Amino acid sequence: GWKNAINTTIINFNNEKMQITWAARELFPSENVSFSYTFDEGKHKVWKSCPTYLLDQDYNSGCLFETEGPTLAISIRNSNGSEELFSKRLKSDFYIKPNRPENVTFFWKEDTVTVSCNKPERAVKCLRLELQYKSKFDKDWQSRTSKCCSVGEQGFDPRKCYSFRVRLKRLVPYCNVVNYSSDWEAETFWMNGTLLDSCDDDIKSQSNTVIVLSCLLAVLLMILILLILLCKRQRLQKSVMPVIPDPKYIFADVFNDHNGNFQEWIDKTEHAMVQTKLEYEEPECIIEAESQQEDEKNSDKQGPQEKIFSFSRAAENNDPKAAQIACLMPTSNTIASFAGFQVLMNDDMYVML
């Protein structure tokens, strides 16, 4: 009974090649065993020796041979073949491991991705197409399985980069006694229907964008700081070193009318001032009294007395010409009314009342 209890691993690669392995160092530590097989049934079996041995530290640990039919019988014997150490009959179709999917295509529409591949020549009903994907923000793969040979999934964000991989699986237990799947097809990277070399390209592009925006922000900030410093410098310069006025703008007539000839400008200006003085007329002094004649008589009889003068309305309105009235002579005690004030004039002294 122990012959059937030996643990072996049986793989039928896409129903093309068989691989059978055993733990040689544990099961047969003292000798190098031999392997034979047959796909024939009935009494007339033809046993074949292993064409290709798999080795483990120079000990035979497995055999690789062509798949020739659905029913397989194997036998492990001692080194000279005189004693059978292990034998087994099996259905080779229950140990099939499919090949990778061929001609895988991706179809991206809005948030839905559909993946398809070519149909295998045999046992399509026993196969399932598995799609796994993850974005750069996911730690684990998300899985979706469908009938061969097309699978679709929704909910993809077109702004994210996704990694995709697909493989074919055999149905258990209807088609296989062992859950065998094909190797994964080469991993691909997609973003909004565009094939990328890797999702690192998307990260690099985003990082480059962040770097460019940061540089622009830094430049704008430096320009703003320079403008503020420049304004403060101008204010400080004005407060510490006031701007000396340019005589070109103060004496515009000298440069515009006399081409900078200061003496010519002075002569013309003095001539204009003399003409202004000649044209000037003193304002008339209006003397208000109850009777001018009586005042004159009283003044002759009584001697120097106080006189009250009232200037015109122009003087009350602070007209500068009114201040130049010649009638306010300090020859006697006089009281004058000027712009609402009373002025007592006695000899050389004026007193505001």
Bridge pairing between strands 48-49 and 34-38: antiparallel
pTM above 0.75, yes or no: no
Instruction: Quote the CA–CA distance of 26 and 81 in Å, as a whole number.
Output: 20
Place of tokens 């006025």: 245
The two domains 8-97 and 105-196 share their CATH topology (first three levels equal): yes
Cα 207 to Cα 210, 212, 273, distances in angstroms? 5, 9, 79
- 319-341 tens-digit pLDDT: 444 444 444 444 444 444 444 44
DSSP state of 309: E
Residue where the block lists tokens 């000027």: 338
Q: Which residues pair with 75 in a beta bridge?
A: 36, 87
Q: CB atoms < 10 A from the CB of 198, how many?
A: 13
What is the Cβ-side half-sphere exposure of residue 62, based on CA atoms within 13 angstroms?
Answer: 17
Domain boundaries, the chain: 8-97, 105-196
pLDDT for the residue numbered 3: 54
Residues of the chain with pLDDT under 50: 1-2, 203-204, 280, 286-291, 301-353
CATH superfamily of domain region 105-196: Immunoglobulins (2.60.40.10)
List 36's β-bridge partners, or say none. 49, 75
Strands 59-66 and 52-56 come out as: antiparallel
Query: CA nearest 333: which of 351, 349, 345, 348?
Result: 345
Bridge partners (DSSP) of residue 181 are 169
Distances (CA, A) of 204 to 10, 132, 200: 46, 24, 6
CATH 3.40.50.2000 given to domain 8-97: no
